[in-house]
Chain A
């Protein structure tokens, strides 16, 4: 367990400075909230009278 963890940590530390995993998670949460809100609204729309 330990050696694998060490290697993983080393890989992360020597990686490109462009890693922003926290931001990626926040952005994915944003996308998920967006999808939920968007489809909830379509559902609400489907419940009103028909109009063209």
Chain B
């Protein structure tokens, strides 16, 4: 009975249902809810792209924010300085981030463990130094404010969307793009290629013995993760109405890593759950106190010692335990 119900539950397309529910946020929620939902969607994509390295391939990248930043700057510069449409700037952001990830990753994947983390950190600080100082192109420490919204007038032609605010329309666009990106990332994770990455994570020596080109696979994962981080960055720059060098500082890499771990890096949907939890918690905390980093640090320590599997990992363990008890009770 229980088993059959579980099998039935597996056939329900949960992700599609959640997507369909999220579409209604601009109508059901306040303006602020839409704002939060946009932020969560973008950061969730960023966290999932990191998790392709962290959870799937087992590469501890401490500079993932570099690719997010490259994407944000490429999109912002193309749209603001050169007046290009979003349709061009958005893919260009992904490609720019992927190219940079290819160059940086070529060197990074040659190193292992702590040295890999250090080199990714160094590359991300190079990006930061360039963004911070190259005044003519990146605006230096002033950043690039007032990035235009994409042209979303075509949405007025869609019945029901005519009277939406511009920020609500941007939310719908973001939701669509993030959903497509997540679907692609999920396909990649569950493809034979993704399985190979997991093999490399679990045992790189054995993966090399059976003939896998470990470095090439790791580099491919690095580039894909970088590209999707770039897409998230492009959306974030527009959402935030500006791109600033602070985005690329190394501590941002740690933040997205916390989101990933909080949700659970062993699960594809862990990072989005972690993002949701962290953004919600941030909202709750900052209304009481300005010491959000203190709360975050304490939470992180509790997480590391008590729930290393994160929220999804903890829930899955609890669910397995409960089901085993029930099944045993039935028999």
Q: Is A bound to B?
A: no
Binding site for B on A (CB under 8 A): none
Which residues from chain B sit less than 8 Å from chain A, CB to CB?
Answer: none
